[in-house]
Amino acid sequence: MVNAAYLTRLKLTDFRNYRQLALDLDNRHVVLTGENGAGKTNLMEAVSLLSPGRGLRRAAYAEISRKESETGFAVFAVLEGMQGPVEIGTSAGGDAEAAGGSGRRLRINATNARSNDELLEHLRIVWLTPAMDGLFTGSASDRRRFLDRQVLAIDPGHGRRVLDYERAMRSRNRLLSEGRLDPAWLEGIETQMAELGVAIALARRELIAMLTKLIDERQDEGPFPQAVLLLEDFLSDIAGGNAAELEEDFAMQLGASRDRDAAAGRTLTGPHRSDLKVRHRGKDMDAARCSTGEQKALLVGLVLAHARLTGEICGCAPLLLLDEIAAHLDAGRRQALFDLVDALGGQALMTGTDAGMFSALGERARYLTVSSGTVADAGAD
């Protein structure tokens, strides 16, 4: 195990507006500056694909490939990871997609990976993007996705459980909508949903409990307000105690609600209906009612707390992707942010339009200028 994960080389081929790109890096933070549309976020998106899932934009792979490409995109990285140096290559699109392939290809140390979950053996990635600014006022599904991403960083099996639960739920919904009410068949699916659903809910609750404990240990709020976290989920309506009892009770709920769910055309209870509630601790106010600036500060504090927790649980500081992170922070809060990021011990990639906003980082960062799909050294201010 190492104390931090950091990129030492990054190569892109036909990725968004990058035809070819090769960057050699070290363990310093990386600051990417340039005009809007130059490709800063595209580069961050490429790095985010070194983790399971569809990256920080959740884009279809066909959208990621450069329009002129016939072979799809490729991302190759060399990094110091949780198990030491590792080479990771991932690609998608092109012939495989045209032939009906829906997933991306992944090779780790020149060997085909069994699944994208193998990436979690080498690094964890935590990101914050402007698209997440509306998290507290947006949909419950956005908050569930945010929470599940946080759980995945400390529990590599969580993503598979969520996918398996959704697959089982779709099968149940289809049987109910078609009127195929075979008791044995439905009971089998509902038992699977109950086992997976309870495991998902308990993992979410455990993550919230650990984050709450970490936040409580802080002596003061510092530059970013503290969050109070609460999960509203189906477990609150179940009287069972241990996991086995919870699974049994949830399976009974599903069995009793078949007629209702058939009429609704969907399953109306389960972890897919949960919601993450966040309050501003200092003001004792729902995050959704806070000002835009307060919501941004709450979110930054929550993401940093999660990054710290991830490092403590995994023994390796995560790679941080902070897109347009300094845009709405005053100089004092920017400096405090950079100090907190640096104290985590890992590498952070940050973007902005003005290099001057990152001057407080000094020699702790490598400064690069992005322009129309090219990247060049800018030099530290």
pLDDT at position 220 is 64
Please give the residue range of the domain that contains residue 349: 1-124+317-381
Average pLDDT over residues 37-53: 95
Q: Please list, in sequence order, all residues whose beta carbon lies within 8 angstroms of the beta carbon of residue 19, skipping any fewer than 6 positions away.
A: 13, 66, 68, 373
Range from 218-222, 284-288, 317-321, 344-348 carrying the lowest mean pLDDT: 218-222
Range from 102-116, 189-203, 257-271, 274-288 carrying the lowest mean pLDDT: 102-116
Q: Is 2 left (phi over 0), alpha (psi -120 to 50) or beta?
A: beta
pLDDT at position 93 is 81
- Residue 7 covered by a domain: yes
pLDDT at position 1 is 42
- Residue 39 covered by a domain: yes
pLDDT at position 100 is 40
Q: Where does the pLDDT of residue 283 fall: very low under 50, low under 70, confident under 90, or very high at 90 and above? A: very high
Q: What is the maximum span of the chain, computed from C-alpha positions, in angstroms? A: 70
pLDDT at position 14 is 95
Q: Is the pLDDT of residue 95 over 90?
A: no
Q: Determine contact, residues 151/202, Cβ cutoff 8 Å.
A: no
Q: How far is CA 316 from the centre of its chain?
A: 17
Q: Where does the pLDDT of residue 222 fall: very low under 50, low under 70, confident under 90, or very high at 90 and above? A: confident
Q: Is the pLDDT of residue 96 over 50?
A: no
Average pLDDT over residues 271-293: 95
Q: Determine contact, residues 98/122, Cβ cutoff 8 Å.
A: no
Q: Higher-confidence residue: 93 or 34?
A: 34
User: Percent of the chain, pLDDT > 70?
Assistant: 95
Range from 127-141, 193-207, 229-243 carrying the lowest mean pLDDT: 229-243
- Residue 191 covered by a domain: no
What would the pLDDT profile of 139-150 be if each residue is shown by its tens digit?
A: 999 999 999 999
- Residue 145 covered by a domain: no
Q: Is the pLDDT of residue 364 over 70?
A: yes
- Residue 276 covered by a domain: no
Q: Higher-confidence residue: 173 or 102?
A: 173
pLDDT at position 296 is 92
Based on the structure, what is the number of domains in the chain?
A: 1
Burial label, 263 (beta-carbon count in 10 A; 0-12, 13-18, 19+): exposed
Q: Where does the pLDDT of residue 182 fall: very low under 50, low under 70, confident under 90, or very high at 90 and above? A: confident
pLDDT at position 98 is 41
- Residue 361 covered by a domain: yes
CATH assignment at residue 373: 3.40.50.300
Q: Higher-confidence residue: 236 or 7?
A: 7
Which of 47-51, 97-101, 311-315, 372-376 shows the highest mean pLDDT? 47-51
Q: Is the pLDDT of residue 304 over 90?
A: yes
- Residue 368 covered by a domain: yes
Q: Is the pLDDT of residue 365 over 60?
A: yes
- Residue 186 covered by a domain: no
User: Percent of the chain, pLDDT > 90?
Assistant: 82
What type of residue is 307? A
pLDDT at position 181 is 84
